[in-house]
A and B are shown apart, each in its own frame.
Chain A
Amino acid sequence: MGSLVLMIIGLAMFAAGYFVYSKYLARRVFQLDSSFKTPAHELNDGVDYVPTNKFILWGHHFTSVAGAAPIVGPAIAVIWGWLPALLWVTIGTVFFAGMHDLGALWASLRNKGKSIGALSGRYIGKRGANLFLVVIFLLLLMVIAAFAVVIKNLLISTPTAVIPTWGAIIVALLVGVAVYRMRWPLIPVTVVGVVALYALIVLGDSMPVVLPESFLGMSPATVWILALFIYGAIASLLPVWVLLQPRDYINGVQLFVGLILLFGAVLIGALFSANPPDIVAPMFNTNLPEGTPSMIPLLFVTIACGAISGFHGMVSSGTTSKQIDKETDARFVGYFGAVGEGMLSLGTILAVIGGFQSVAEWESIYSEFGAGGVTAFVQGGGALMENGLGLPASLSATVLATMAVLFAATTMDTGMRLLRFIVQEIGDAFKVKITKFPATAVVVIVGLGLTFSQGLGGEGGLRIWPLFGTTNQLMASLTLSIIAVMLIRKRRNPLPALIPLVLVFVLSFWAAIEQLFSFTAAGNEDWLLFALDVIIIIASVWVAVEAVMAMRRAAKAPPEDEHDDVALVATRENV
């Protein structure tokens, strides 16, 4: 019963956030105007700028921002007990993520659909824009290394997910060929694709694939990581229609199916099961395993996506803002997109606290910081689904493991493609033309180097997860400071942006400093992470100073006229 109560409280918080707070933001703070000519209409080119139906756009936005991070973060953070994680996910989604995503969308809409990087150039200064490239490079590098390890762990702990994971690639290839080469209609192809994916899950469940202890002298962990990087390199080099596009699409459909299954299982299990799921995890964990860092500030960077994430700002301002039909749609797409991800995190929390039989079993999984993670999500969620929907536990676990792997893999191959572009851009800056094959080779070598930096088991990949959180939160601060500067310039209430900005900044800065000491601890030195952390800390200070200066300038400057944005659009049209 406890799980159901938490689920209802969480969903009610999200609903209140959407119906009350986001309405306040949309009307009073951002003053969304349905007559404002959005970039999609103003610059409509049928390519980047296309007015899109708000429900479809929400689907795109949601599936782009929901990777493996809203699963990994909460599944690790529950180690401090379920209440802190639940509070941070719900309050974070309502007051931090929703505000941040909607704000980023609004800021970009009012600036011809420009990305946060370009906006930081306009509102904070050129140095802010350069900093952005450094942060984005680090963020993508961490994503590919960490997700390779997450997938490797899942493939080893849930061998039944091996066949559906790799089989999904074949399904995606066939879907791509069916739609683009054979010109088959999409609906039947979708149905057959999703059914084939679930058939592979059933097949995989009866045929687990376990690699031999030593293959060509390598452990299974090493083999999987190498295979994933080779796959990622190939996927990022192929034309997008062949693999990436159908894969993202099938994953998007599967995400909705997965969410319905998870919440449905909690609901049905609590109402109809003879053995309703109970919360076994402690509300506050007083029996923390040795080596667990302090909850404050680490909780706030461990759960990044699902509470507040800078990556969302990149998606909001990068592609979503160019497709908004009416400015008022931003509330649904931006704010409700964040709520969607909050729901995924809430589902994860329910799975990892309610799916176990006893406290002892829960503690044996959370025996070390970072040990719970996705494995706990798969096991706990599997048990919840068995109880609620009557699916066999191993099959349910395979479903969830496949879901988590597919999310992580799509993020990983997209990350590799983007990183390749950045390597090529850096080459351009030094007047060296780097073609796509050498650029991909650089990405693979750097990524593998980071993953294997602490041993051939890929220990380096997950060690950087907290650094991913800090970097991500730093990006969120950058976006929030742009929103705050814009609000100050317009003489509107900047507090909804300033309060999250200060909190997120202070907590992530604190976490970065704390980690810096942990990397130099005697016997546990880690100079690579130390160096990365130093870069992050310098970047944070830099952002803070620049942002404060920009805000002071904005406060001193004469107030921006309410119609300035519209005037900006009009002049451009005259040109």
Chain B
Amino acid sequence: MTAGTRAQRREDRSRRWAAFRDGLHEFYVGPYRQTLLREQRDEDDLFMIVVLGEALGVPDPAAYYSAGLLPAVWADFHSWHKRIGIPASPLDHIACC
């Protein structure tokens, strides 16, 4: 047996193993994908409100610390305010749309 075919077999095996692993994972998460993503989204929404609290006019004693987290929420900010029913950005200093 040449080294080439052995390497190919090993690769085949690892590919099959990976497919099995992915399949099993899919079997685990598939039925609850929707529910889990929805829960994740609710959690993210809460996080967004906590971080943006001060900017939205809610006095926040921890604003000094939460302001540091602002960059973490910028990427999702636009889709968030659209989803909760505010068509344009509620914050003056962020012109995302």
Contact = CB atoms under 8 A, between A and B. Distances in A.
Interface residues of A, number: 29
Contact of B27 (A59, A244, A319): A59
B31 A56 contact: no
A314 to B, nearest CB: 14
Interface string B13-34: 0000000010111111111111
Contacts of A52: 26, 30
B33 to A, nearest CB: 6
B46 to A, nearest CB: 14
Interface string B39-62: 100000000000000000000000
Contacts of A63: 31
What is the predominant secondary structure among interface residues of chain B facing chain A? helix
Nearest to B37: A47
B30 A60 contact: yes
Contacts of B27: 56, 59-60, 249, 252
Nearest to A246: B28
A185 B25 CA distance: 9
B73 interface: no
Contacts of A64: 31
A319 B35 CA distance: 12
B84 to A, nearest CB: 17
A248 B26 contact: no
B36 interface: yes
B8 to A, nearest CB: 24
Contact of A56 (B21, B26, B34, B37): B26
Contacts of A57: 30
B28 A47 contact: no
A517 interface: no
B27 to A, nearest CB: 5
Nearest to B31: A60
B26 A319 contact: no
Contact of A50 (B25, B33, B36, B38): B33
Contacts of B38: 47
A409 to B, nearest CB: 16
B23 A53 contact: yes
Contact of B34 (A48, A59, A244): A48
B: contact size bracket: 10 to 19
Nearest to B39: A239
Interface string A98-141: 00000000000000000000000000000000000000000000
B30 A323 contact: yes
Nearest to B30: A60
Given A47-B37, A239-B39, A245 B31 contact: yes
A179 B23 contact: no
B31 A248 contact: yes
Contacts, number: 55
A59 B29 CA distance: 12
B34 A47 contact: yes
Interface string A156-191: 000000000000000000000001000001110010
B30 A56 contact: yes
Contacts of B24: 186-187, 190
Contacts of A179: 28
Interface in A236-277: 239-241, 244-246, 248-249, 252
A240 B33 contact: no
Nearest to A245: B32
B23 A319 contact: no
A55 interface: yes
Interface centre among B21, B26, B36 (most CB of A within 10 A): B26
A252 B31 CA distance: 11
A55 B25 CA distance: 13
A249 B27 CA distance: 7
B28 A240 contact: no
Contacts of A249: 27-28
A186 B26 contact: no
Nearest to A59: B27
Given A56-B30, A323-B30, A240 B25 contact: no
A112 to B, nearest CB: 16
Contact of B26 (A46, A53, A185, A246): A53
Interface in A37-88: 46-48, 50, 52-53, 55-57, 59-60, 63-64
Interface in A292-346: 319, 323
B4 to A, nearest CB: 29
B10 to A, nearest CB: 19
A194 B25 CA distance: 16
A257 to B, nearest CB: 14
Contacts of B26: 52-53, 56
A268 to B, nearest CB: 27
A63 B31 CA distance: 10
Interface in B56-78: none
Nearest to A49: B34
Contacts of A53: 23, 26
B35 to A, nearest CB: 5
Interface in A182-210: 185-187, 190
Given A47-B37, A60-B31, A187 B23 contact: no
A384 B33 CA distance: 39
Contacts of B29: 245
A55 B37 CA distance: 23
Contacts of B37: 46-47
Contacts of A185: 21
A179 B29 CA distance: 11
B31 A187 contact: no
A317 B60 CA distance: 47
Interface of B: 21, 23-39
15 contacts: A47-B37, A47-B38, A50-B33, A53-B26, A56-B26, A56-B27, A56-B30, A57-B30, A64-B31, A240-B32, A240-B39, A241-B32, A244-B32, A248-B32, A323-B30
State the 6 A-B residue pairs at the shortest beta-carbon distance, nearest first.
A245-B32, A56-B26, A249-B28, A240-B35, A47-B37, A47-B34
